[in-house]
Amino acid sequence: ACGGGGGGSASAADGTITMGFSQVGAESGWRTANTKSVQESAKAAGIQLKFSDAQQKQENQIKAIRSFIQQKVDVIAFSPVVESGWDTVLKEAKNAKIPVILTDRAVDSKDTSLYKTFLGSDFVEEGRKAGNWLVEQYKDAKDPVNIVELQGTTGSAPANDRKAGFAEVIGKDAKFKVIASQSGDFTRAKGKEVMEAFLKAHPDIDVLYAHNDDMGLGAIEAIEGAGKKPGVDIKIITVDAVRDGMQALADGKINFIVECSPLLGGQLMDLAKKVVKGESVPARVVTEETTFTQEQAKQALPTRQY
Ligand code: GYE
């Protein structure tokens, strides 16, 4: 109806960009902060956002992307719940000449022409940071260090990579033993449930490595329920640094948090404007992040945005 120029796109005559965004779900504090960042940044950038929540299901994301293609949005952004299985739908977007931006999580597609760029954290590096802290803490220990691991959503980039980065670092010293490792699906409820099972099966846990704060917070409840002191009897390392995690860190219940920033909205909108204009963008945009000790958490909390 717009009579040319738009190449069949749904762009408004005034040039307003429409973005279809398929979010993973609302599984964690990180995700809630990320959704808010995307929504607020779209508004601030004057980009019309069609937002869809996949409730942690890949099939819902594929449906949402197909619907965005049908609606002829100008750009599609999504945070893929798992890494595999995207080629078909991404080819459909490419055939429809709609650029795709990967946000937060990666896909394992061999054909990198299926998307314009990938904006998000380096999850392998996050895992390494967690491992490095542990190695430093136990550098003088002679006895084995028994570690349990709560993994994120099975098949997701952050679960695969945080596990790999951590294993790479601790694997250099045989005293570090991962005695149990299971998915807690990035949620508090599952983190608690799996930690309860770990505690029953293993009376001798020294360290918990949880792939996000929420699972760590659920595990803290399980540890307290078992009559042990989180942060003292069992040392806890998590990833994200959302407010509740930072509070537990400041309170001494978590020992170390590797930051993963959910505030990707601003950069996403900038990239979207560029790809819609046909400008070139870097193939990979990595988020800048830090780590927090208990003392650093106390200092950072008052001004923490999420
Ligand atoms: O760490 C976790 C969330 O993909 C980086 O997903 C994100 C992860 C984040 O559920 O809390």
Inform me whether the pLDDT recorded for 7 exceeds 60. Answer: no
For residue 9, what pLDDT is reported? Answer: 53
260 lines ligand 1 (CB under 6 A): yes
Inform me whether the pLDDT recorded for 244 exceeds 80. Answer: yes
Q: If you search the block for the tokens 């937002």, which residue do you land on?
A: 51
Task: Kindly tell me the burial class for residue 104, based on how many C-beta atoms sit within 10 Å of its own C-beta (0-12, 13-18, 19 or more).
Answer: buried
Atom of ligand 1 nearest to the CA of 120: 5
How far does residue 141's CA lie from ligand 1's centre (Å)? 32
How far from the centroid of its chain's Cα atoms is residue 202's Cα?
29
240 lines ligand 1 (CB under 6 A): yes
The two tokens of residue 148 are 């349990």
Share of the chain above pLDDT 90, in %: 94
Mean pLDDT on 4-10: 45
**Phi first, then psi: what are they for 278, rounded to 5°?**
85, 10
How far from the centroid of its chain's Cα atoms is residue 45's Cα?
23
Which mutation among 260, 287, 289 tests ligand 1's pocket best, with the greatest number of atoms within 8 A of CB? 260
239 lines ligand 1 (CB under 6 A): yes
Q: 48-84: per-residue pLDDT in tens?
A: 999 999 999 999 999 999 999 999 999 999 999 999 9
CB 176 within 8 A of CB 142: no
The answer to pTM > 0.90 is yes
Strands in 100-103's sheet, in edge-to-edge order, are: 48-53, 18-23, 75-78, 100-103, 117-120, 284-286
SS3 content of the chain, % helix, strand, coil (to 5): 40, 20, 40
How far does residue 14's CA lie from ligand 1's centre (Å)? 36
Inform me whether the pLDDT recorded for 20 exceeds 60. Answer: yes
83 lines ligand 1 (CB under 6 A): no
The two tokens of residue 1 are 């109806």
Inform me whether the pLDDT recorded for 13 exceeds 90. Answer: no
Q: How confident is the model at residue 5 (pLDDT cuts 50, 70, 90)?
A: very low
Inform me whether the pLDDT recorded for 284 exceeds 50. Answer: yes
Q: 111-154: per-residue pLDDT in tens?
A: 999 999 999 999 999 999 999 999 999 999 999 999 999 999 99
Residue in 268, 264, 270, 288 with CA at minimum distance from that of residue 33: 264
Q: What is the spatial distance between Cα 296 and Cα 270, in angstroms, rounded to a whole number? A: 31
306 lines ligand 1 (CB under 6 A): no
Provide the sign of the torsion angle of the four alpha carbons 84, 125, 259, 274, taken in this order: negative
CB 136 within 8 A of CB 178: no
For residue 12, what pLDDT is reported? Answer: 60
160 lines ligand 1 (CB under 6 A): no
Please, how many CA atoms are within 13 Å of residue 87, restricted to the half-sphere of its CB?
Answer: 6
Q: How confident is the model at residue 2 (pLDDT cuts 50, 70, 90)?
A: very low
Amino acid at 295: E
Question: Complex ipTM, two decimals?
Answer: 0.99
What is the longest distance spanned by two Cα atoms in the chain?
A: 75
Q: 144-189: per-residue pLDDT in tens?
A: 999 999 999 999 999 999 999 999 999 999 999 999 999 999 999 9
For residue 14, what pLDDT is reported? Answer: 79
Residue in 281, 262, 261, 263 with CA at minimum distance from that of residue 75: 281
Which mutation among 22, 23, 24, 28 tests ligand 1's pocket best, with the greatest number of atoms within 8 A of CB? 28
How far does residue 35's CA lie from ligand 1's centre (Å)? 12
Residue ranges in the chain assigned as alpha helix (H): 29-45, 58-70, 87-95, 123-137, 157-170, 188-201, 213-225, 243-250, 265-277, 294-300
Atom of ligand 1 nearest to the CA of 213: 11
For residue 35, what pLDDT is reported? Answer: 98
Q: 39-48: per-residue pLDDT in tens?
A: 999 999 999 9
SS3 of 149-176: EEECCCCCHHHHHHHHHHHHHHCCCCCE
For residue 6, what pLDDT is reported? Answer: 42
Q: 192-226: per-residue pLDDT in tens?
A: 999 999 999 999 999 999 999 999 999 999 999 99
How far does residue 186's CA lie from ligand 1's centre (Å)? 7
